[in-house]
Amino acid sequence: MSRKRGFALAETQLASFDRSTTARCHVQRPDRYRLLEALPADARRITRGGGVSFVGASFAHDSVVQEMGAFDRLLEFDPEQGRLTVEAGARIGDVTRFALSRGWMLPVVPGHPRASIGGCIAADVHGKNPARDGTFRQHVEGIELFDAQAGWVQLGPNQDADHFAACFAGFGIPGLMVRARLRLVPAAQAYSLRSIAVANLVEAAEVLRSHANAPLLYGWHDGRAGRFGRGAIRFGLEAKDGTTGKHRTYPDLPETIAPWPITAWNRIGIAAMNRWVRHRQFVAGQVPTAAALFPLNEARRYFAGFGKHGMNEAQWLLPHASYAEFVAALEAEVRRLRPRISLIASKLFEGKPTGFSFDGSGIALAIQMPQPRQREQAAFIESLTELAIIHGGRPNLIKDSSLQAATLPRCFADFDNARNALRRFDPAHVQESAMTRRLGL
C-alpha cells in the first residue's frame, strides 16, 4: 500500500469495550510523522485513540485503523498560563498525572484513564460535573489535523472555525487529529467527598441541581424493580488542606478487560453488587485528586463480570421539564419487564446541544445492562429508547451500541444538518467506522 519506510499493517481482531462489535481489521501503528501521511488519499480509514469506547467507534472491517498510541508526547507547557500542547494519542490519565505534578488539571476527564486526547475531542466527552465544567470542547484552544486531501491544517476558534467545531463529537469524520492545545485550570490537591442518600431518581435530580457548583457531582442508583432509583449522589468539594487519609491507589483500568467465563450480573449478583456500591458510596473523606477523577480504576471486576456476552450502556440526556415524567414511565417499564440493570448513573448538564454532542440542559441517566442481546433485555432497551425519544431525550452516540440509523433523525431534529456539518470535511466518506456506518453518519 505504501513504500514509506516503516509502513506496516497487521491483521488484528478488535472489539468494542461493551463487546457488542468485533471485526478483523487492518491496523496501522504509525510511530513517525511521515507514516501518518502514508495512506493513499482515497484509502478508507478511521483513527483509533485509546480504543476504549463502549461502541465500535474506532474500527471497521474494511477501514485501515490508524492507531495513535505512539503519538502520545507532551510538546509544550506554559506553567504560568496553564496551557499544554500534546499529541492526540496521549492518554487522559497520563496527561492528568503530568498536569497535577505541576499544579494544574483538566477540569473535564472521562471515566476511563486510557481514553486519548483525540478520543476525548472526537466524542466531546464530559467529566464529573458537566453542569459546572461543560464538555471537553470548552478546554481545547487549537487542533492540528491531518486531512487525507488537504494535508496538514491548523484549527482553532478563529482559524477554520467550522472545521475546528466539527472535530468535537465528530467521531473521527473531520480528519485525523494529531495535536491539541489544552487549557488547564489550577488543580485541587484533594477532594473532600460526601454522599447524600436518595430514595429515587426524581429526588436525585433535586440533589444534583442543588449542588450544581460542586467540582465533582454524580449519582449511582439501583436499577431493580422495587428499589428503582434508590442510591446516592456523590459530591466532592476542594479540600482546604489537601491532606488525605490512607488511600489505596489502583493502576489505570486496562483498555481491554478479560471477561469472566460466566455473567456475574444475574439477579443475585446485581443484588450483591448494589449492596457493595451502596456501602462504598457512603465512605466519606478526603481523596487525592487523581483517585477522585478516576474512580472506575476500582471497577475492573465490575466490567469483567459482564462476561463474554458483554453489556450495553444507554445514556440519555432528558430535559428538566420532561424528566420526572420520563422517570415514572421508565420505572413502570422496569416493573413490567423486570430487566437486569446492573447500575444507573446520573449527572447534571447545563450546556448547549451542538451537532451530535452529548450536551444540553437536563439530567443524564446512564443505564448499564448485561447480555443486551438476550430477548428480555433487548425488549427493555427498545422500550427505553422509545420512552427517551418521546420525552425529548438526547442519546450519547459514543456509548450506546443499540442505537440504529433509523432512530437518529427522531432524536436530533437537525440530523441532516449535523451530519452534513461533519461530512463536509470528508465528502468521499474516507473516514468510516463500524459506528458511523451503523448510525448512517
Partner 1 sequence: MTTVVVGASSGLGRALAEELARASHELLLVASDPRDLSAIAADLGLRHAAKVHTLALDLAATADPGARVLAALAELPAPSALLLPVGQSRVDDDGSLGAAATGQLLAINLHAPITIVQALLPALLEARGVVVGFGSVAAVRGRSRNMVYAAAKRGLQGFFESLRHRHSGQGLRVQFHRLGFLRSNLTHGMRLPLPAAEPAQVASQVVANLEKASFDRHAPRWWALVAFIIAHLPWFVFRRMDA
Ligand X SMILES: Cc1cc2nc3c(=O)[nH]c(=O)nc-3n(C[C@H](O)[C@H](O)[C@H](O)COP(=O)(O)OP(=O)(O)OC[C@H]3O[C@@H](n4cnc5c(N)ncnc54)[C@H](O)[C@@H]3O)c2cc1C
Q: Name the residues that contact partner 1, by CB under 8 A.
A: 5-11, 29, 31-35, 70-71, 73-77, 87, 98
Q: 56-85: which residues touch ligand X (CB under 6 A)? A: 57-58, 68
Name the residue number minimizing CB distance to ligand NAP: 32
What mask, x for binding ligand NAP by CB under 6 A, covers residues 18 to 57?
--------------x-------------------------
Q: Does 6 bind ligand NAP (CB under 6 A)?
A: yes
Please check whether residue 61 is in contact with residue 23, taking contact to mean a CB–CB distance below 8 angstroms. yes
- Residue the block writes with cell 453542569: 131
**22-28, strands of its sheet edge to edge:** 9-15, 22-28, 64-67, 45-48
Which letter, b or e, does each residue of 386-413 get, where b requires 16 or more Cβ atoms within 10 Å of its Cβ? Answer: ebbeebbbbbbbbbbbbbeeebbeebbe
Q: Is 134 exposed, middle or buried (0-12, 13-18, 19+ CB in 10 A)?
A: buried
C-alpha–C-alpha distance, residues 251 and 53, integer Å: 19
Stretch that binds ligand X, among 4-12, 120-128, 182-190, 243-251 (CB under 6 A): 120-128
Out of 46, 292, 341, 421, point to the residue binding ligand X (CB under 6 A): 46
Stretch that binds ligand X, among 22-30, 108-116, 226-234, 408-416 (CB under 6 A): 108-116
Q: Does 50 bind ligand X (CB under 6 A)?
A: yes
In the chain, the largest separation of any two C-alpha atoms, in whole Å, equals 63
CB atoms within 10 A of CB 378: 16
Please check whether residue 338 is in contact with residue 198, taking contact to mean a CB–CB distance below 8 angstroms. no
Three cell numbers at 407?
A: 432512530
Q: In whole angstroms, how close is the CB of 33 to ligand NAP at the nearest point?
A: 9
Q: Does 226 bind ligand NAP (CB under 6 A)?
A: no
C-alpha–C-alpha distance, residues 264 and 340, integer Å: 11
C-alpha–C-alpha distance, residues 95 and 107, integer Å: 12
Q: How many residues bind ligand NAP (CB under 6 A)?
A: 3
What residue type is assigned to position 328 of the chain? A
- Residue the block writes with cell 510511530: 31
C-alpha–C-alpha distance, residues 441 and 432, integer Å: 9
Q: In whole angstroms, how close is the CB of 89 to ligand NAP at the nearest point?
A: 16
Out of 27, 64, 100, 122, point to the residue binding ligand X (CB under 6 A): 122
Q: In whole angstroms, how close is the CB of 62 to partner 1 at the nearest point?
A: 17
Q: Does 111 bind ligand X (CB under 6 A)?
A: yes
Query: What region, left, alpha or beta, does residue 151 occupy, with left being phi > 0 and alpha being psi -120 to 50 degrees?
Result: left
Out of 3, 5, 248, 279, point to the residue binding ligand NAP (CB under 6 A): 5
Stretch that binds ligand X, among 106-114, 147-155, 189-197, 206-214 (CB under 6 A): 106-114
Please check whether residue 188 is in contact with residue 164, taking contact to mean a CB–CB distance below 8 angstroms. no
Q: Does 53 bind ligand X (CB under 6 A)?
A: yes
Nearer to partner 1, 32 or 309 (CB): 32
C-alpha–C-alpha distance, residues 174 and 188, integer Å: 35
Nearer to ligand NAP, 32 or 320 (CB): 32
Out of 26, 126, 230, 340, point to the residue binding ligand X (CB under 6 A): 126
For residue 115, the partner it binds in ligand X, partner 1, ligand NAP, none, with Cβ less than 5 to 8 A by kind, is ligand X
Q: Under the rule (CB under 6 A), what is the footprint of ligand NAP?
A: 5-6, 32
Residues engaged in binding ligand X (CB under 6 A): 17, 46-54, 57-58, 68, 88, 110-112, 115-116, 118-120, 122-123, 125-126, 171-172, 176-177, 296, 398, 433
